[in-house]
Amino acid sequence: MRKVRFTINVLAVVVFTLAFASLAQAQATRTWISGVGDDVNPCSRTAPCKTFAGAISKTAAGGEIDTLDPGGFGAVTITKSITIDGSASNGSILSAQTNGIIINIAPADVSKTVRIRGISINGAGTGINGIKVIAAAKVSIEDTVIDGNTASGISVEANAAQAQVFILNTTIRNNATGINNTSGAEVVLSGASVVHNTTGISAPKGGVVSFKNNVIYGNKKDGDAASPMDQK
């Protein structure tokens, strides 16, 4: 009887190990999504998924999700290092009454980087935040358009002084606040346009905002700061 139980336990361990290995192997370094895809697919180039949320569970940490064609690919929560790239095909997120992208990587060690590239995030006038950074070490937002949110285009809440958010060639418009840094994180803008928001840039609680070669225009109030803002 003991031998039978031992054999069953060994078999259970083997089955669990193989299942875990299979799951890990199923996560690809690069995945694909399409407006005519399906989230039951493996997110391969020939069998793409339909949403960012559907693809992220099938993408390995440090990997990349790419869009194949124009489309609205849904809000997503990011909990690992990853790149989301819609630059080749006008990838977009319609985020009415919700947050477009939430970034929440814990622990936020320096090896984990999130890159958002070439995405249009449309809150349609009722969205909450275009991009909400709760916890992360490094976030890079490039060539992106964020529009129409009732809170912020980009809200940086990462409670870590070492957190860095880099915003490049990005347009942030028609939000209650364009960029709101309520944390100790460092936010750096380069070539960004922060326009037609109620408040352009806010850093009320120790956040640092540095910017160079940007357009800050048409906001009812361009800045609100109790902490350093460095214009170069």
Q: Are residues 103 and 188 in the same domain?
A: yes
Q: Indicate which CATH number applies to the domain containing 74.
A: 2.160.20.10
Q: Mind listing the pLDDT tens digit for each residue in 144-187? A: 999 999 999 999 998 766 689 999 999 999 999 999 998 878 89
The count of structural domains within the chain is: 2
- Same domain? For 111 and 217 the reply is yes
20, 41, 61: which is the final residue of a domain? 61
pLDDT confidence of residue 21: 40
**185 φψ region: left (φ > 0), alpha (ψ -120 to 50), beta (else):** beta
**Residues 7, 94 within the same domain:** no
Residue 9: what pLDDT?
54
Clarify whether residues 100 and 55 are in a common domain.
Answer: no
Do 173 and 152 lie in one domain? The reply is: yes
**pTM assigned to the model:** 0.85
State the pLDDT confidence band at 19, using cuts at 50, 70 and 90.
very low
CA–CA–CA angle 72, 75, 78 (5° rounding): 130
pLDDT at site 23: 46
Coil, helix or strand for 45? Answer: coil
d(CA 112, CA 137) in angstroms, rounded, equals 6
Same domain, 113 and 75: yes
Domain-terminating residue out of 29, 61, 93: 61
Q: Are residues 114 and 94 in the same domain?
A: yes
| pLDDT above 90: residue 204 | no
**Contact criterion met (CB below 8 Å) for 117 and 84:** yes
222 has pLDDT over 70: no
How distant is the alpha carbon of residue 56 from its chain centre? Answer: 11
Element (H, E) at 129: strand 119-135
pLDDT score recorded for residue 124: 97
* Res. 24 pLDDT band, cuts 50 70 90: very low
Same-domain pairing of 48 and 120 = no
Q: Which of 61, 85, 109 is the last residue of a domain?
A: 61
3-state secondary structure of 15: helix
Residue 199 domain boundaries: 70-231
Comparing CA positions, the residue from 205, 204, 202 lying closest to residue 221 is 202
Q: Are residues 161 and 192 in the same domain?
A: yes
- Sheet with 164-168, side-by-side order of all strands: 28-33, 59-67, 82-85, 113-117, 138-142, 164-168, 186-190, 208-212, 229-231
